[in-house]
Amino acid sequence: MKKPLSSGFFVVRTKEENPPMMHIAVCVCLVPDTASVFGFSDGTLDRSRITEVINPYDEYALEAALQLKEQFGGGEVTVFSHAPRSGSEALRKTLAMGADRVVIAEGEGSDSWQTASILAHTLTSWYSAALPEVILCGRQSTDFGSAEVPGMLAERLGLPSVCAVSSLEGGEDGVFRLEREIEGGAEVLEVSVPVVISAEKGLNVPRKTSMRGVMEGRKKPVEIVEGSPVECARVGLGALLPVSNKKNCHFASDARALAGMLHERGLLQ
C-alpha cells in the first residue's frame, strides 16, 4: 500500500511535476438509465433495451471535483471507472463536463468487493508517488444501490472516508468541513486530506455539458488499463426476479369515506 507523502494539501510530487499540483480522483460507474425499459429474462437484466449513463450520484462527485479544481486554481481531475471498454463513449461525458482524463479499469460483473479492490489497485498504480488528495465517489449506484464501494475503497487504501456528504467546504488548510444527513438531523464533520468522500444528492448542481465542452472532451485521453488482478467475489447474486408492486386500489367516493376506510381497517392509531 502506498502512503501519501504528506497530509498537507499540496503534496510535493515527482520532480517533473512543477509546480506541485492537486490531484483529484473521481470514481464513476455506468448504470442503466432509469428511464429505460427494465425487462428480465433468464434471471438477468435484458440489456438490449437499456441505455447506460453515468450514475447520477457520480455526477455530484464529479461536479464537486471540478469545483475544487476551480477553487484551488488548478489541479488534475481524473475519472476512474471499472467498466467494459465499450463504456468509453458514455464516460466521455465526464470529459465534456471538465474532467481531464478517463482511466477505464477494464472488466465487468464484479461485486462491490472486487470493484473496490480493482479501483484501489488502479489508483495506487496510477498515482505511483502519492495517492490523490481527494477521491470522490457517488453515494451509491442507482442500479443496485448498495453504497458499499466508497467505504471499502477507502479502507483498502488506508484512508479515512466520509460517506453521503451533502455539503463540502474549506480545504485550504488541508481540512474539509463536511455535512452528512443522518436520521432526524445532520452531522458536521472535519476531515483532513487525503480522504475518500462519497457524494449525496444536493451536494451541488452538476453542470450541463456545452457544445464546446463536448468538442474539447473529444480531444482528452481515455486510457484503458487491462488485466487488473481480480480477487474472488465475496457475495454471490442469484437469479433476478421481476417484481410487481401492483395492488388492487379501493377508491373512496369522497374524503370522509376515505377516512372511514382507514378507520375500519384499524389504521387510525
Partner 1 sequence: MSNNTHGAEGQGCSRRLIVLEQREGVLKSTSVDLWHRMQMQCKGSGLSAVLLGPVDKENPSLQLSGPGVIHHACDERLRRYDPRLYRRIIGELFEEGGFSELLFADTALSRDLAPALSVRLGASLLSRCSALPEAGRCHRRLYSGAAEGTFVASSPRAIVTVSPSSILLQPATEFLPDILPLAVPAAAHDDLPSIVRQVVRREGMVDVAEAGVVVAGGRGMGSAEGFALLEELASLFGGAVGASRTVVDEGWRPHGEQIGQTGKSIAPRLYIACGISGAVQHLSGISGAGTVVAINRDSHAPIFEVADFGLVGDVGEVLPEFVAALKEFLKMQ
Q: Which spans of this chain sit near ligand FAD (rule: CB under 6 A)? A: 34, 56, 142
**Who contacts 229 (Cβ-Cβ below 8 Å, separation ≥6)?**
117, 118, 121
The residue written with cell numbers 500500500 in the block is 1
Q: According to the binding rule CB under 8 A, does residue 144 interact with partner 1?
A: yes
Q: How far is the CB of 165 from ligand FAD (least distance, A)?
A: 18
Cell of 39: 425487462
CB of 149 to ligand FAD, least distance (A): 18
Helices 112-126 and 149-157, interaxial angle, to 10°?
A: 40
> Minimum distance between the CB of residue 33 and ligand FAD, rounded to whole angstroms?
8
Q: What is the C-alpha separation between 247 and 250, in angstroms, rounded?
A: 9
Among 110, 173, 181, which residue's Cα sits nearest to residue 146?
Answer: 110
239 binding partner (options partner 1, ligand FAD, none; Cβ < 5 to 8 Å by kind) = partner 1
Q: Which is nearer to ligand FAD, 15 or 246 (CB)?
A: 246
Under rule CB under 8 A, residue 221 binds partner 1: no
- Choose the binding region for partner 1 from 37-45, 80-88, 102-110, 221-229 (rule: CB under 8 A): 37-45
Asked if 179 and 166 count as a contact pair (C-beta separation under 8 A), the reply is: yes
Q: Site for partner 1 (CB under 8 A): which residue of 11, 95, 195, 199?
A: 195
Residue of this chain nearest to ligand FAD (CB atom): 56
- What is the distance between the alpha carbons of residues 136 and 119, in angstroms, rounded to a whole number? 12
Which residues have a Cβ under 8 Å from the Cβ of 147 and sit 6 or more positions away? 139, 140, 163, 164, 198
Please tell me whether residue 207 binds partner 1 under the rule CB under 8 A.
no
Binding at 16: pick from partner 1, ligand FAD, none (beta carbon under 5-8 Å per type): none
User: Which residues between 67 and 106 bind partner 1 (CB under 8 A)?
Assistant: none
Residue whose CB is less far from ligand FAD, 58 or 148: 58
Query: Considering only residues 5, 129, 188, 230, which one is a binding residue for partner 1 as defined by CB under 8 A?
Result: 188
Q: Which is nearer to partner 1, 65 or 195 (CB)?
A: 195
Query: How do strand 134-138 and strand 23-27 relate by DSSP bridges?
Result: parallel
Contact call for residue 7 and partner 1 (CB under 8 A): yes
Among 163, 168, 199, 222, binds partner 1 (CB under 8 A): 163
What is the β-pairing status of strands 134-138 and 161-170? Answer: unpaired
Closest CA to 129 of 27, 2, 22: 2
